[in-house]
Structure 1
């Protein structure tokens, strides 16, 4: 019977399931930056395009997962999944109460101490229940974030570094859940050495940053710490810049082998950039030609004035960068006395020695290219 229906060709023992992929999206929600590109791409249309991209990622595999964070002006907030301990009340209300220990009215619980239930989603045959749940959670959390933003919170700084740190922590926690249990040694032969074969990855994780603001020099150190941690964990950081050029995120994509694309010329094509540039996971990129950067801005921020500099002075002990020589030539970070050598001295000009020309047979005639000398007057 196997020869007739050819069932022997389908050996279930050799089938390997698809490795789950975790996509962590960090959305820059700086109101000032979105107001600058409101005429080209409002934040409402951008969120709609991101939801389509997230649904495509989830539909790519049954075990794929997604997490969404918002990098705001004064904090980083989870949009999906929602945090079990949300930051209620908003920071603006906590400032009104002060630090005197006064109670603040909690608007997210009822009199019995229970949280109000989220509104039930309408059943629709055209929307997958998981897609509807994620969409409802992201929109509700984003609306709560915008409502809790006061005019005093509107500053040009965006906490990308905090969002990256939270994303790395969530990825590490999720990878532990997918980690296979360690096999113990054989009780019959306890002297058997454990296998040194490299195990296949149990989770493909990556971070996608949707940036609309420039890099803040004051966040250079925490941002690069998060970038180096992601590089050590082999987690690529992809970046899609909708406005200007984030210097530090370019370096993050280069260091972690991620993808950096700039959509500043055409922000309306956000969905096209997302689907064609960032839909493939880490495993699939090995068989595809991923977009590359033509040039990378490797400028760093100085530790003294927090300015982005092209050239500077670097401490040989702690590798701190300074735009100018510190006072008394002492490192502001570790206090090491910097040896500047001959810095600032004028270069010494050495005169060039003149070469004497060779003379032929002791005569006064200089060597020329001809066999005979120059004829004199008749």
Structure 2
């Protein structure tokens, strides 16, 4: 009896101790869970306070990297999504033979409007650059920057913050004087007997693309440069420039360089194709006196901003995409195309001048001519069949 009672009391004590240990562990676990929940709530409150303390401008966001660094890192989303600099290359038609025929405008007014537009482009962003090329007949020349000036001119961001407004205006005045003097020199250098109502726009466009490629190589690493070309043309189209112009347009399309075209005279089929293929904008001025207004309202903004924020004029309908023949350099709708190199000819030729492939004489024109002759329809058909049989015989021999 006493021994059994002692053993029972010992078991009760052990059971009580085990229950106490388990109760203490459960209490400790509940306390740890409560502390974790409290920490999570505090962390959530801090995140809410951080969200409320963010700047109102959604383009600038501050991110705190507490695990890596105790400092603050500022990410400017505007600079990460848009280029740091914008290069605008203006190609100007300075043909005195065409400008001399105009009664409501002249080349001096055109230059003044273009210079105002170029100055506005430089003032939009401190890092913007501008270049002007003049084309007169078969000659092309850089009007700005000059040979002694740095490429792209001197951007406003490199002129120093302590420079006064008067000094900045002097820079614009120097650029305007340089462009006017270079344009006057270019127009005087052309011989009068060589002037025509057309200009070598393809050669000037190629020179503009080469200048853009050079500026992209010379730019500092990490700086993004967005380039575009604006063609200002007054003369008529020259069909002989079709191949050279299209090659330059395809090169600009591959490098994602938009080509804008502003035509003062009649519509330009070639420049309209160039603008559509490269992602630019084509505009024919309603009147020459509205040049400055159209430049500032339509061509000052970048292509992305232009498509998103501006109401552009309505489309002029489908563009004329007719090619130019390789033989006479004229636009054609129906032509003979070489099956080897895809060269286009306005009339039949037995030999392709590009790949030197030989073509058999076509039989369809003879068939149609014989069918049109009165009273000889059957004979014409037989002649056509005979011709076809001769052709198949030659093919079998070959």
TM-score, normalised to structure 1's length?
Answer: 0.69
TM-fit CA distance, 1:177:
2.6
1:300 equivalent in alignment to 2:323: yes
CA positional deviation for 1:342 = 4.6
Q: Alpha carbons of 1:335 and 1:84: their partners in 2 closer, same or farther (altered >3 Å)?
A: farther
Check 1:127–1:175 CA distance in 2 against 1; reply closer, same or farther (3 A cut): closer
3-state SS of paired residue (2:199): coil
Structure 1: stretches of 5+ with no match in the other structure: 86-122, 182-200, 351-378
Deviation at 1:261, TM superposition (A): 0.4
- Offset of 1:341 from its aligned partner? 6.0
Q: Which structure has the greater CA radius of gyration?
A: 2
* Alignment correspondent of 2:75: 14
User: 1:270-294: CA deviations, max 9, x gaps?
Assistant: 1111111211113423423544442
For 2:317 and 2:167, locate their aligned partners in 1 and report how far apart those are by CA, in whole Å: 42
- Report the CA distance between 1:345 and its aligned residue: 4.7
Question: Any residues of structure 2 matched to 1:28-47 within 5 Å, and which?
Answer: 28-37=93-102, 39-47=103-111
Q: Which residue of 1 aligns with 2:141?
A: 77
Q: Which has the higher contact order (CA 8 A, sep 6+)?
A: 1
Counterpart of 2:141 in 1: which secondary structure?
Answer: strand
The partner residue of 2:194 within 153, 160, 181 is: 153
Question: Greater helix share, 1 or 2?
Answer: 2
Map of 2:293 onto structure 1: 272
> Matched residues in 2 for 1:297 and 1:83: separation?
39
Q: Pick one of 224, 240, 244 that aligns with 1:222.
A: 244
Contact 2:137 2:200 in 1 (8 A): yes
Query: For residues 1-378 of structure 1, what are the structure 2 equivalents within 5 Å?
Result: 9=55, 11=62, 13-15=74-76, 16-17=78-79, 19=83, 20-37=85-102, 39-83=103-147, 125=166, 128-178=169-219, 180=221, 202-263=224-285, 265-288=286-309, 289-291=311-313, 292-326=315-349, 329-338=350-359, 342-346=363-367
Say whether the 8 Å CA contact 2:298–2:306 is kept in structure 1: no
Instruction: Tell me the secondary structure at the aligned position of residue 231 of structure 2.
Output: strand
Q: Is the Cα contact below 8 Å between 2:280 and 2:303 reproduced in 1? A: no
TM-score (norm 2): 0.66
Please list every run of 5 or more consecutive structure 2 residues that lacks an aligned counterpart in the other structure: 1-48, 63-72, 150-163, 372-376, 379-398
232 and 28 in structure 1: CA distance in 2 versus 1, 3 angstrom threshold? same
The answer (yes or no) to whether the contact 1:204–1:282 under 8 Å persists in 2 is no
Asked whether the 8 Å contact 1:214–1:247 carries over to 2, the reply is: no
Contact 1:25 1:208 in 2 (8 A): yes
Q: 1:83 to 1:222 in 2, by over 3 A?
A: farther
- In 2, the alpha carbon distance for the partners of 1:56 and 1:69 equals 18
Deviations 1:76-110 (A, max 9, x none): 1000011359xxxxxxxxxxxxxxxxxxxxxxxxx
Q: Deviations over 1:252-271 (max 9, x none)?
A: 011111100011x3111111
Once the two structures are TM-superposed, the CA of residue 174 in structure 1 deviates from its matched residue by: 1.0
CA distance in 1, matches of 2:262, 2:363: 45
Q: Structure 1 residues 298 and 163 mapped into 2: Cα distance closer, same or farther (>3 Å)?
A: same
Q: Distance in 1 between matches of 2:290 and 2:168?
A: 24
- Count, aligned residues: 286
**Could you tell me how far 1:207 is from its partner in structure 2?**
0.4
C-alpha separation in 2, matches of 1:142 and 1:83: 14
Over residues 178-223 of structure 1, what are the superposed CA-to-partner deviations in whole Å (9 max), with x where a residue is unaligned? 3636xxxxxxxxxxxxxxxxxxx91111100000011111211111
Alignment partners' CA distance in 2, 1:340 and 1:203: 54
Q: Aligned-pair RMSD on alpha carbons?
A: 2.7
SS in 2 for 1:77: strand
